[in-house]
Amino acid sequence: DHQTYTFLGDGCLMEGISHEVCSLAGTLKLGKLTAFYDDNGISIDGEVEGWFNDDTPARFEAYGWHVIANVDGHDSDAIKAAIDAAHAETGKPTLICCKTIIGFGSPNKQGKEDCHGAALGVDEVALTRKALGWNHGPFEIPADHYAGWNGVAKGTSAQTAWADQLEEYRAAHPELAEEFERRTRGDLPEDFSANADAYIQECQDKMEKIASRKASQNCLNAFGPMLPELLGGSADLAGSNLTIWSGCKDISGDNADGNYIYYGVREFGMSAMMNGIALHGGFINYGATFLMFMEYARNAVRMAALMKQQSIFVYTHDSIGLGEDGPTHQPVEQLSALRATPNLHTWRPCDTVESAVSWKSAIERRDGPAALVFSRQGLKPMPRTPQQVADIGRGGYVLKDCAAPQAILIATGSEVELAVNAADELAGKGIQVRVVSMPCAEIFSAQDADYRDSVLTPTIRARVAVEALHADYWFKFVGLDGRVVGMRTFGESAPGDQLLKEFGFTVDNVVANVMEAIG
């Protein structure tokens, strides 16, 4: 009897996301989902018949929904009967089409766009009260009306019955009851953090050179068995995003006993559904697509951050380094948009170790989403001390240092190796350079000033940031005296290594920029 209800109007059904999610809901046979369609025929610009004349019941029947048409939206008995019919249909989601009059009761504004997004006004409110026979003042609720709407007793009874049922369940299945409550509280298994740290150290010890998207899949194989609440998916790119791990079981319309959703080509719908799953609770859910296709889903990503929900957005193919697919698929400005989103942690790890830390951080975070950005190409593993491994979780840290640095190189992802190689080249010229890896700038920026200054020493003004994405973001770290080796145009269609050379991601160019910054 666990039901989900949603309310939508004409404008909602015009939006493309309505097709994405309603199509999938029908395919998955979500029989406990009921949508109320407020069909009043009005949007902000007026009567919708000039721009929206879909046969909505037929549309939803084509999706595989149970449709209850022509319900009087002002008749509570008719609505109650429709809800009962929706509950009786367990193999399909239900759309209840409620015909309503916008601004019902307003003598001069009902049925018009005038009352869509504006208050009726004092005079029209008085006329509406009279038309509806409501003779009570603002916030004055007659006792009989209050009693009729008061659900405290009913709710208390239902809550008590639920609590009693849970206690019976606990007596019969104590371990399952404890696991249920752990998941619904959002608590992680007690040993998760320690086990995750052990895996991170294992990655450091192995020093594998693999694409970070493969490192991400390895993380899923490591963390998945620890987290029975993990629920994954991809927008028709599972084989490219590498989001399927060894313990994945498909969810379908005939089998809900799984932990992986094939969302199809529905990036926006997937991301919005992830937010719904996060709001429901009991799951840690992730969904994946190419970084470029984040553009289709940006509103849902923003809403996850605004609502402080733990949605984990996995984005692969993270730069011009992906190669021949060309500028339509090569992200440039997307990372800047993600980093500009308040309350979103955007990670771009440089190797298997940082990839594992990014997953651990996203899983342990309870007050907002994370975007995990992974490469298509192989990334060289970086040597680290235990303290450096620990400092990855602070968002930025000194990866390679020297006695008296004259300049600082800041890099992320695939460009960290380039920065290290450039620092080595400069050392051969007698120029000492510190290399900072900054996989998550938002977390680094939230550290205390002493730590930030220990990484980016204020007196070292010669700074160069290196990232194969839009350059402008990095000026907040390198300052007016600094340089950024980044993208300022769209990419091109060519092999990835040729593109990186063409756009200046070479040791020689990084060295030249450091020399300029030093002066």
pLDDT of residue 144: 95
Q: Are residues 334 and 351 in the same domain?
A: yes
Q: Which helix (H) or strand (E) holds 427?
A: helix 415-428
d(C-alpha 516, C-alpha 177), whole Å: 64
Q: Are residues 130 and 17 in the same domain?
A: yes
Q: Which two tokens stand for residue 340?
A: 């500009």
Is residue 453 in some structural domain?
yes
d(C-alpha 78, C-alpha 25), whole Å: 25
Total domains, the chain: 4
| Under 8 Å between Cβ of 105 and 132 | yes
Extended strands (E) in 438-480: 463-470
Q: Are residues 157 and 97 in the same domain?
A: no
- What range defines the domain where residue 109 resides? 4-151
Q: Are residues 134 and 156 in the same domain?
A: no
Is residue 384 in some structural domain?
no
From 138, 170, 185, the end of a domain falls on 185
Is residue 355 in some structural domain?
yes
- CA-based angle 220:221:222, to the nearest 5? 90
Does the pLDDT value for residue 99 go beyond 90?
yes
CATH code, domain carrying 408: 3.40.50.920
The whole-number average pLDDT for the span 286-305 is 98
Q: Are residues 127 and 156 in the same domain?
A: no
Which residues are within 8 A (CB) of 18 and not within 5 positions of it... i.e. 6 or more apart?
8, 12
CATH code, domain carrying 70: 3.40.50.970
- Name the band, by pLDDT with cuts 50, 70 and 90, for residue 36: very high
Q: Are residues 223 and 113 in the same domain?
A: no
Does the pLDDT value for residue 256 go beyond 90?
yes
Closest CA relative to residue 417, chosen from 280, 321, 516, 481: 321
The whole-number average pLDDT for the span 225-250 is 97
The whole-number average pLDDT for the span 83-108 is 97
Q: Are residues 364 and 233 in the same domain?
A: yes
Is residue 385 in some structural domain?
no
Closest CA relative to residue 287, chosen from 181, 372, 397, 170: 372
Q: Are residues 212 and 294 in the same domain?
A: yes
The whole-number average pLDDT for the span 122-138 is 94
pLDDT of residue 481: 87
d(C-alpha 385, C-alpha 252), whole Å: 46
- Name the band, by pLDDT with cuts 50, 70 and 90, for residue 277: very high
Does the pLDDT value for residue 117 go beyond 90?
no
Phi and psi dihedrals of 347, rounded to 5? -105, 135
Is residue 257 in some structural domain?
yes
pLDDT of residue 1: 80
Q: Which helix (H) or strand (E) holds 205?
A: helix 192-206
pLDDT of residue 87: 97
Does the pLDDT value for residue 46 go beyond 90?
yes
What are the pLDDT digits (tens) for 193-232? Answer: 999 999 999 999 999 999 999 999 999 999 999 999 999 9
d(C-alpha 27, C-alpha 90), whole Å: 14
Closest CA relative to residue 6, chosen from 280, 214, 283, 327: 280
Q: Coil, strand or helix: which one is 248?
A: coil
The whole-number average pLDDT for the span 56-66 is 98
pLDDT of residue 139: 92
| Under 8 Å between Cβ of 78 and 107 | no
Q: What is the DSSP letter of 119?
A: -
Which residues are within 8 A (CB) of 313 and not within 5 positions of it... i.e. 6 or more apart?
271, 274, 286, 287, 288, 294, 297, 301, 304, 369, 370, 371, 372
Higher-confidence residue of 117 and 243: namely 243
Active site residues: 267
Residues written for the chain: 519
Is residue 46 in some structural domain?
yes
Alpha carbon of 263 to those of 289, 291, 307: distances in Å? 10, 16, 22
CB atoms within 10 A of CB 416: 29
From 92, 127, 151, the end of a domain falls on 151
pLDDT of residue 427: 97
Q: Which helix (H) or strand (E) holds 273?
A: helix 267-280
The whole-number average pLDDT for the span 111-134 is 94
SS3 content of the chain, % helix, strand, coil (to 5): 45, 20, 35
Q: Are residues 362 and 217 in the same domain?
A: yes
For the chain, what is the mean pLDDT? 97
Q: Are residues 214 and 117 in the same domain?
A: no
- Name the band, by pLDDT with cuts 50, 70 and 90, for residue 177: very high
Q: Which two tokens stand for residue 15?
A: 């939006």
Q: Are residues 40 and 181 in the same domain?
A: no
The whole-number average pLDDT for the span 507-514 is 98
Is residue 383 in some structural domain?
no
Q: Which two tokens stand for residue 248?
A: 């994945």
- Name the band, by pLDDT with cuts 50, 70 and 90, for residue 283: very high
Percent of the chain topping pLDDT 90? 97
Whole-model pTM: value is 0.96
What are the pLDDT digits (tens) for 310-347? Answer: 999 999 999 999 989 999 999 999 999 999 999 999 99
Q: Are residues 129 and 263 in the same domain?
A: no
